[in-house]
Amino acid sequence: MNFLNPFFLIGAGVLAVPILIHLVRRERSEIIPFSSLMFLLKIPKRMIRQQMLKNLLLMALRLLLIALLVSVFARPYLVQSATPDGPKSGQGRGVVMLLDNSYSMRYGQNFDKMKSEALSRINALGSGDRMAIVSFNDSAQVVVQPTPDKGKLRAAVDGLEPSFAGTRYFEAFSVADRLLSQFGGQEQNLILISDFQRTGWNRSSRESVIGHDVKAEMVSVGVADSSNIGIDNVSVDATSFVRTYSGRVVARIHNYRRDKEVSVPVALLINDKEEARKNVLVPASGTALAEFSGFDLPLGFVKGKIRIAADDPLPQDNEFLFSIERREKLNVMILDAGRSRQSFLLRTAYTAAPDLPFNVRVGNASAVTVEELGSQEIVIFNDVPRLSDAVRDRAVQARKAGQGQFVILGNTADLRWWETVDGFPAKPLRRVDVSKERGKSIAYLTSYDRNHGIFKRFQGSSRLGLNTAQFFQYIELEPKPGAFALAKFDNGHPALVESPANDRGMLVFASALDNTWNDLPLKPSFVPFMFESARYLAGYNAAKGWYTLGEGIPIIGALEGGTARVVDPSGNQDSVGEGELKSGEQRYYSPSAPGFYELRVGRDRRLLAVNPPSNEGNLEMMIPEDLLAGVQSTEAEARQTGTFVTDDKLEYARQQMGWWYLLLIALIAGIVELYIANTRTQSVRRVG
């Protein structure tokens, strides 16, 4: 038995205290002259002995209680020697070979060298030796379970292919440790063949997973000075509402060479057609940016690529994929109560310029049909009293499928009804007339979340300040749990509330926007505010420009729902999850290779671009011994913490469960002690 916190055992010294007190008091006991001991001597000895025994038992229980508590804090555990009898001669060796097939192994001849080294290790196996093969990238797979069959092992190595995934050494070592434990008393060997890419080692993983008595061989097939040049990152605005792309596509080119700068031609391809080309000079061990803009886009999704013409040993990272969707103008429907000019200012905000990406329709909420409502990207409910049940249900369904909804509360809105709408993010409390309620006539919208998508463009612009607008009346809102108050009045009441992160798609504004309750529509900030709100509402479900391999891609059910299918770069179809993807339901898809994927949900089509992890292009090596030192326990560590035959977590936990049993015994001892002490106290009280 050993202890996790042996310093707590010092507390066992407390055990001596009651014994010492007892002895000291006995030595120093006072002499009391008494008339005669005649009556004291008449007391039956049996009763005194009983009392003394009872007290000795009590003292023993208390000492036991202290000892148990000290032991509990010291956390005892059972230790088994990793190899109780040492490696048994004549049994042969147990070997686990870890083979790196991460993306970076595609560099030059690294993968072939790795295979060659692996085969030579297989050939070197003696009779009685058993070997297991594990291939790893960002995860680890056992390719061959422990076997002495060299043919099977060779075939497994021949069949290995380099992947596009990243590198994580820790996963590989964890699997290796499990396999090594199967070798029992055999001599345990570990072989790692890799390029020892530094980015594959997470320095925070400090847990030792390999026993100190495992003989490890680190075989490096990497190159000390790589001459790789690759594309690190491409930033792209994935949605365009206009033919000529108004955003910027910015590619970052990374030169991993340490010795010289490189001039690289960078090309932008749209649907495999080169649209632009630039030359960038990338410094040694540095990066350079290439920016593209103003190219034309056809309607729908386009396949974008950034390609560099570099002659380096890792050509796969010379191309970076992305997708852009050129969309028609957003369909915005403004529904109001039918009052004259009620939505005039709102409509004006969305049609102020001819190139604004909005098709705006204004209608009476009582007359809108379910079909009309479902075909909109954005619906603005401008101070609408209430909706029919059918329209309301369709609105809820549409919002879950991606429709953005903006609810403006004013004089005619039925606050109690709106509160009951599914997904409505706030509870309207009362109508506030500022001049009557607060003793001053005007409220200002003074605080808003400057990091939120709607308000980002308001930063640094004094002209676009929302705080110049004067509010005379508003509805006091109480955000529901999980909802966010994005903007607030100067008295702290929320002005703009967004639905919770898990049920997004609705914004609620607490004051009418028809120039009656406030003068916000007359302020310069009004148009950008409504524009950004609409962009935010329409784009929250937009796909990213590209994804990294290994990342889960969220897929949300369209308005009608339907079967979710993915067409991979090879043209193979794969369904995402089982059954039909319901409207608003979310699933995740993990692609296995880089390339363009077509995602189909019902009638909805999306194009996804997937790239391999860009950090794999950085082939800087780490010293193999450093890596081994990071995962293999030392002999001293093994002595201190105990080395277990297996690293099975459950077994490990079971061996440390001893303190629970001790605590239980301490509890029982405490109860017995309380009982005995209590009976004794009662007898003393009766005498008193």
Contacting positions for another protein (CB under 8 A): 25-26, 29-44, 47-48, 51-52, 55, 683-684, 686-687
**Nearest CB to another protein, comparing residues 1 and 37:** 37
Helix ranges (H only) for 646-687 are: 649-655, 658-687
Q: For the CB of residue 657, give the shortest distance to another protein in the complex, in Å.
A: 42
Which of 18, 552 has the CB closer to another protein? 18
Q: Which two tokens stand for residue 188?
A: 């345990």
CA distance 455 to 662: 59
- Single-letter amino acid code for the residue at 230: G
- For another protein, the closer of residues 21 and 522 by Cβ is 21
Q: How far apart are CA 322 and CA 20, in angstroms?
A: 80
624-631 vs 169-181: helix crossing angle, rounded to 10: 60
d(CA 404, CA 537): 4
Nearest by Cα to 194 from 132, 102, 256: 102
The one-letter amino acid code at 598 reads E
| Cβ distance to another protein smaller for residue 30 or 355 | 30
Task: Please report where in the chains the tokens 């329209």 appear, as a residue.
Answer: 391
d(CA 155, CA 119): 10
315's tokens = 């050509």
Q: Give the residue with the Cβ less far from another protein, 25 or 456.
A: 25
DSSP state of 329: P
Q: Least separation, in Å, of the C-beta of 24 and another protein? A: 11
- Our CB check for another protein shows the closer of 649 and 686 to be 686
Closest CB to another protein among residues 46, 436: 46
Judged by CB, which is closer to another protein: 47, or 224? 47
590 or 681: whose CB is closer to another protein?
681
Q: Tokens at residue 628, please? A: 């081994």
Q: Smallest distance, Å, CB 680 to another protein?
A: 9
Residue 16 C-beta: closest distance to another protein, Å: 20
CB of 679 to another protein, least distance (A): 14
CB of 52 to another protein, least distance (A): 7
SS3 of 82, please?
coil
First to last CA, the chain: 49
Q: From the CB of 65, what's the least distance to another protein, in Å?
A: 22
Report the distance separating Cα 445 and Cα 438, nearest Å. 15
337 closest CA partner among 379, 383, 372? 383
Query: What is residue 601's three-state secondary structure?
Result: strand
Query: Are the C-beta atoms of residues 251 and 555 closer than 8 Å to each other?
Result: no
| Contacts (Cβ under 8 Å, ≥6 apart) of 330 | 241, 357, 358, 359, 377, 378, 534, 538
Instruction: Specify the DSSP class assigned to residue 480.
Output: P
CA 409 from centre of chain: 37
| CB closer to another protein out of 26 and 436 | 26
Residue 634: CB minimum distance to another protein, A: 56
What is the smallest separation between the CB atom of 56 and another protein, expressed in angstroms?
12
Q: How far apart are CA 49 and CA 55, in angstroms?
A: 10
Closest CB 676 distance from another protein, rounded Å: 14
- What's the CA gap between 584 and 400, in Å, rounded? 4
Instruction: Please report how close the Cβ of residue 211 comes to another protein at its closest, in angstroms.
Output: 58
Give 33 or 126: the residue with its C-beta nearer to another protein: 33
CB of 683 to another protein, least distance (A): 7
Residues 6+ apart with CB under 8 A from 65: 666, 669, 670, 673
Residues whose CB falls within 8 Å of the CB of residue 506, separated by 6 or more in sequence, listed in order: 399, 404, 405, 406, 407, 423, 424, 425, 498, 499
Q: Which is nearer to another protein, 340 or 682 (CB)?
A: 682
Nearer to another protein, 1 or 41 (CB): 41
| Distance separating alpha carbons of residues 233 and 653, to the nearest angstrom | 43
Q: How far is the CB of 208 from another protein (least distance, A)?
A: 56
